[in-house]
Structure 1
């Protein structure tokens, strides 16, 4: 008897009975599955025309008084048969179980390679029969187009239309796609189109239908990792009062530890007394810290952050004449993502590329608030359990764990931990050479562009050829990943290989699949642990798909980015902190310390997202109120022609000013903590007062318009000459705990946590001195 498995099952049952957000018991779905399988034989023998007639009958039933539940088994059985006929793929029972879970508004956890794309078709088909539209939200434009075109034969056979959204589509083409029964799109692009509806001046400009049902693919990436990055619609040029290039040149000459110093965890940087004096002399001001020099001081601080805290090929790459941000979780370049509050321009000045206009924010929404617009929601991902509490708290989604169709044969080796980076790289190259000699394919997952290129260079010195896939080559991602499982292949990749791709053993050469399996399948090596264990698990999931053999091995050092960023060495027992050995460290205390540190970091990030959500939720309620009022004005007939446009423009201007006021309140909210007040309550009070002023101004203008008190010359409308969209990389540098407590979403020093950090630093220095 496997006592460990028995213990695990008992623990799960206890957890479920206590309201766990994770469901392991699939019996309720299995009963429905048996009914679906019972109908399978009936549909198997029907000709195509008869199947299409059955599909039409289901649509007619649903258009009457029937509920989707009443046709559930017939719809799933019919869809399964159509998948088999049109795609040559008959959904497995586990895929049907996942589809049932999603239909019932759950988040299905399916391991990599288990066929999430096909599983989503089943609930999407049933929900689309209502005619209200279904959105399948994917991770990028490539996947949206691929999945829509791939699954289109199923939907079209069943009498439904399918479309997809791309970033560069014309508005009329987007409108046609959104009017389809099923629409594949990125959550980001749906969000931008939703924001554009706020600045429409005619009903014809509205391209979105009311939201109905969404299936979120790669749900942890979209709903958690991207949750703190607001989508922004901007317009109206803002002039920069200072020469940022001159400031960048000045800052470039400053010396660390002399002219500026970094904070305890290298997450903040500030001028020293000497650095401030140099700045005053260079820019000809008496006191840099006078209120009248606030904009200069801010520009200097941003330039200093760009110099000392943001690194080329780790945080961003320079492509052409543009700064392109790299996603910290995937290693991908993120199109249209920018840092806010002047930091983007500071990095552009640092790198000597043209400085882009930041503009004035016209509207903004976070992905969690966008997702909440859907009355019905479901999701799927390979890694959900570690974030199940957050899915339940934020989105009301319970996680249903779907077993693999074939039991995994993947072997996960224990981490090899090294005292320093050089020892890790030596061992890494040795392992790659050893495995490559057997012709097994190897995938090396790295954290940064620079690291991927460094490892490729070391292999080249050994005469070993490899393929590098990082943020600089993202356009070829699908092609490279498709061949990463080929015999003898070595692929060095940033974490971009972990999302939306499928590595097939043998690659393009299907005849070698058996040979690769016999050798042990794909071997995955991770060169860093990440802030979230989910990211580590995503990388592991590239090996051992659908019962294939495979193995994984993480090789890390105390000089890795995560270790230094959070100063994890200090969490270890003193005797392990300064080891210089080249062999892997095997002490149990080290392994446990790193695992505990990851859990603590995950907890911090969860708390930060929760706090940020509480702030943004208040603004979101205000946005909904104003949007409803504006839509009534847009659709109504109370005002005709120029006067209506004037009032619509006033709504836009007042809301934009309100968002600017809210940003200012956030940046100064830490003073509420120092005054003994609760920052969140203080924010609610101040933002509420600002919104009351906004409503009063709009009410006055509307009343004046009703009474014909506005002169025609006042109707002059100043629309933005152009608008653009981007994603804010919210607070990439600030201390998470202090920022979450104080609510400071900007990039300035966190004044609440600073005294505590200073005290901690003094205690640590005293303790170290005493030990010496």
Structure 2
């Protein structure tokens, strides 16, 4: 009843059923068609769309065509519930479909339908392996059978290969590569090097919660150059290691750390400062905070690993190593200092965007996953998508047993291994889910002591992932795996396993996100198979420590003592709805904190988003327009108007005091060649005609240059100058905004509002940058001498991404001697 009234997802599902019924009714008609007739339907649909029919008008027939084509190409006939999922996805919503329900095939229908308009559809996966598997495999064959072109976008492609991929009807890509291509497209020097020509039309995101929720706190960053800050990291690390427990305060619940009064005193003494939190010490405070986090909040083999003298990030949601990726804002370098490995140089940020703001630029967005309902509020508020729970094809008969709670980790692990041993002897396959690499290795040692053969799937063995998953459902198989989110592969049951109760999923602790626990559970009991799941918890688990602490542990100890077996004196697990509610409540609080954190990232990036849109639009206009003379004249006009302000002052109603000599001194030589301005003429003009006179002089100079050179040389001259100036100041601005973001965090110490300060300072810096751009374009266009061999040149070279790897050079650079450092390929007359 509650769902019928209040759940928007339920309402969407209700609307989808009549449409699914109509698709069902066309099944026999489609069976009668030959393969060629079926293929020809694609051309027919495209023509009908061009004549005015909408995609909604075509949906029923299009889905019926895909359904029949699927039988012929894959031997798979999409179920009725997959039709419901496909209708949901086309509606711009999220289809929540359990593991094994065929999300990949479901996405083919809305992707095919939305590609009929010729604007392209992007199907987004969590890694390149999955994108390659679908594009080059049977799913790609299904699209190709229907006459659709399929592209694959991965990091290793050249610019030309990427352009070909983006031109396809269907593009498979990872989320990060799409985002970086967007940023790169606004860094290229020539329009021909842009790859996302058709813009961002429609995206279907697989594992949508992993991409839009879990990864949303880490922005995409392109960086270049290098800051000389290595000594600061080492100094801050030495200081952090010298501190005592009373010198810092850790909030376990929010995982934050700060110096106490005694710590501040020690810092001021160590670094010889009067006031640590003076604005002049922002950089030092930032490095100290990073050193504190690295030494007391971040843990080796849980948050990161050290392999071959490198710090590698472990994804907290999938347990995968993220090769090449770095923690941002200097935290990675702080960890390198802590672990005494080579400290990579901190780089200058030249382009950045959050996943939230990138995916919100798509004209239409939808997704699918096994678990999204717990985050529905965030999907609705930020992305305007409803979560629709699509029913399973067959009822779920998996037994989800209540949690077992113990006092200590030792008691928990002992009981858990006993359970594994008992099931293993029966031949039942077992999947042991862990939150951290460290836990998976503890359990592996315990299993070895019991001589139970097993496989370990964690950040250290991720290369064998596909092979391990393939065997995980066979009789007597025992598999230990860090978080199973986004694995993209179903665990299929071996022969005779159903009779043994199916796959048993045993969780060694609860994750801070309920979704990840649900994903682990969902690996068992797919497509109506039997299965079993239970979580083993202890009062010493990190989650319960953060929210219960010693008080909770003491209470559990007291109850546990009363609950011991009187005959054997053995510890009995506690099983209570009250404890389950406590755990669920702790998870909800952390989810709320993480949501607030992501909202905070988004609010800060929204300031930059508006600025980025203005600058990218301006830059794209410069690159793509045949003639940018009007743009340059407007920049000159803006600069003249602003530069005149100090020399023309309002001293009364309609009265102005004009400093003619000041105007002459400022503009002659600064904007115009010496002797260009006539002082007699200037003295005869008023506050309105002086700007007109100076603009006329500028137009005459531009006209002279235009008539002195071939048209294409003059046009390229304007573009070379404009691009160079825009890129120089925008790159500098991005890095300043990154530093400002770090600096305003100190506002909270002075009871200030960091976001408000960031907005105000950011607005001021942006206006200052716009003013500087107009000034330099005006100055260089009017004072520079045109060369026939103008060559566009990147402001920042050797850029790289925070996902790892250098960016490809789009075009070989022609190096030429320049007479003046700050100008591109021109010289003063």
If the TM-score is normalised by the length of the shorter chain, which range does it land in? 0.7 to 0.9
| TM-score, normalised via structure 2 length | 0.80
Cα distance in 2 for residues equivalent to 1:578 and 1:84:
61
1:517 to 486, 492, 498: 498
Task: Report the Cα offset of residue 717 of structure 1.
Answer: 5.5
Pairing of 1:295-334 with structure 2 (within 5 A): 295=283, 298-334=286-322
Confirm whether residue 436 of structure 1 aligns to residue 420 of structure 2.
no
* Structure 1 residues 373-402: Cα deviation after superposition (integer angstroms, max 9, x where no partner): 110111111112111111111111112211
Three-state SS of the structure 1 residue aligned to 2:441 is helix
1:536 to 494, 509, 517: 517
Task: Report the Cα offset of residue 405 of structure 1.
Answer: 0.5
Matching residue of 2:106: 119
The question of whether the paired residues in 2 share the 8 Å contact of 1:43 and 1:78 is answered with yes
Matching residue of 1:85: 72
Confirm whether residue 233 of structure 1 aligns to residue 222 of structure 2.
yes
The question of whether the paired residues in 2 share the 8 Å contact of 1:572 and 1:593 is answered with no
The question of whether the paired residues in 2 share the 8 Å contact of 1:470 and 1:496 is answered with no
The question of whether the paired residues in 1 share the 8 Å contact of 2:149 and 2:169 is answered with yes
Distance 1:298 1:94, change over 3 A: closer
2:84 to 89, 97, 106: 97
Task: Report the Cα offset of residue 442 of structure 1.
Answer: 0.3
| TM-score, normalised via structure 1 length | 0.85
Matching residue of 1:68: 55
Matching residue of 1:726: 802
Confirm whether residue 163 of structure 1 aligns to residue 151 of structure 2.
yes
The question of whether the paired residues in 2 share the 8 Å contact of 1:288 and 1:297 is answered with no
Cα distance in 2 for residues equivalent to 1:520 and 1:353:
49
Task: Report the Cα offset of residue 269 of structure 1.
Answer: 4.3
The question of whether the paired residues in 2 share the 8 Å contact of 1:314 and 1:326 is answered with yes
Matching residue of 2:597: 608
**What is the aligned residue count?**
704
Matching residue of 2:2: 11
Task: Report the Cα offset of residue 272 of structure 1.
Answer: 6.9
The question of whether the paired residues in 1 share the 8 Å contact of 2:236 and 2:287 is answered with yes
Pairing of 1:177-188 with structure 2 (within 5 A): 177-188=165-176
Task: Report the Cα offset of residue 275 of structure 1.
Answer: 7.0
Task: Report the Cα offset of residue 246 of structure 1.
Answer: 6.6
Task: Report the Cα offset of residue 301 of structure 1.
Answer: 4.2
The question of whether the paired residues in 2 share the 8 Å contact of 1:408 and 1:548 is answered with yes
Task: Report the Cα offset of residue 60 of structure 1.
Answer: 2.2
Three-state SS of the structure 2 residue aligned to 1:443 is strand
Distance 1:389 1:584, change over 3 A: same
Three-state SS of the structure 1 residue aligned to 2:460 is helix
The question of whether the paired residues in 2 share the 8 Å contact of 1:217 and 1:379 is answered with yes
Three-state SS of the structure 2 residue aligned to 1:409 is coil
Matching residue of 1:689: 764
Larger Rg: 2
Task: Report the Cα offset of residue 368 of structure 1.
Answer: 1.0
Cα distance in 1 for residues equivalent to 2:593 and 2:250:
21
Unaligned runs of 5+ in 1: 1-9, 507-511, 729-772
Confirm whether residue 645 of structure 1 aligns to residue 720 of structure 2.
yes
Matching residue of 1:267: 255
The question of whether the paired residues in 1 share the 8 Å contact of 2:398 and 2:531 is answered with yes
Task: Report the Cα offset of residue 264 of structure 1.
Answer: 5.7
Confirm whether residue 219 of structure 1 aligns to residue 208 of structure 2.
yes
Cα distance in 2 for residues equivalent to 1:385 and 1:205:
41
Three-state SS of the structure 2 residue aligned to 1:584 is coil
Cα distance in 2 for residues equivalent to 1:218 and 1:391:
13
Larger deviation, residues 466-475 vs 659-668: 659-668
Confirm whether residue 426 of structure 1 aligns to residue 414 of structure 2.
yes
Cα distance in 1 for residues equivalent to 2:575 and 2:40:
66
Matching residue of 1:624: 613
CA RMSD of aligned residues (A): 2.8
The question of whether the paired residues in 2 share the 8 Å contact of 1:22 and 1:388 is answered with no
Task: Report the Cα offset of residue 167 of structure 1.
Answer: 1.9
Distance 1:154 1:571, change over 3 A: farther
2:487 to 499, 504, 509: 499
Pairing of 1:615-764 with structure 2 (within 5 A): 615-636=604-625, 637-638=627-628, 640-641=715-716, 643-670=718-745, 672=747, 678-705=753-780, 708-710=782-784, 719-726=795-802
1:109 to 93, 96, 101: 96
Distance 1:604 1:75, change over 3 A: same
Confirm whether residue 393 of structure 1 aligns to residue 468 of structure 2.
no
Task: Report the Cα offset of residue 111 of structure 1.
Answer: 0.7
Task: Report the Cα offset of residue 290 of structure 1.
Answer: 8.7
* Structure 1 residues 104-125: Cα deviation after superposition (integer angstroms, max 9, x where no partner): 2121111111000000000100
Three-state SS of the structure 1 residue aligned to 2:195 is coil
Larger deviation, residues 651-660 vs 357-366: 651-660
Confirm whether residue 55 of structure 1 aligns to residue 42 of structure 2.
yes
The question of whether the paired residues in 1 share the 8 Å contact of 2:560 and 2:574 is answered with no
Matching residue of 1:567: 547
Task: Report the Cα offset of residue 249 of structure 1.
Answer: 5.8
Three-state SS of the structure 1 residue aligned to 2:320 is coil
Cα distance in 1 for residues equivalent to 2:57 and 2:480:
50
The question of whether the paired residues in 2 share the 8 Å contact of 1:325 and 1:333 is answered with yes
Matching residue of 1:5: none
Larger deviation, residues 80-89 vs 491-500: 491-500
The question of whether the paired residues in 2 share the 8 Å contact of 1:419 and 1:585 is answered with no
Task: Report the Cα offset of residue 571 of structure 1.
Answer: 7.8
Larger deviation, residues 579-588 vs 304-313: 579-588
Matching residue of 2:633: none
1:552 to 521, 526, 533: 533
Larger deviation, residues 528-537 vs 586-595: 586-595
Distance 1:268 1:169, change over 3 A: same
Cα distance in 2 for residues equivalent to 1:51 and 1:607:
50
Pairing of 1:360-439 with structure 2 (within 5 A): 360-439=348-427
* Structure 1 residues 588-640: Cα deviation after superposition (integer angstroms, max 9, x where no partner): 54332222222222222222322332221121111111110110011123263
Matching residue of 2:508: 527
* Structure 1 residues 116-143: Cα deviation after superposition (integer angstroms, max 9, x where no partner): 0000000100111111110001111111
The question of whether the paired residues in 1 share the 8 Å contact of 2:349 and 2:735 is answered with yes
Three-state SS of the structure 2 residue aligned to 1:82 is helix
* Structure 1 residues 637-689: Cα deviation after superposition (integer angstroms, max 9, x where no partner): 32633552342232223223222332333334356556665443333222111
Distance 1:403 1:295, change over 3 A: closer
The question of whether the paired residues in 1 share the 8 Å contact of 2:42 and 2:116 is answered with no
Distance 1:670 1:579, change over 3 A: farther
Cα distance in 2 for residues equivalent to 1:275 and 1:602:
31
2:119 to 132, 141, 156: 132
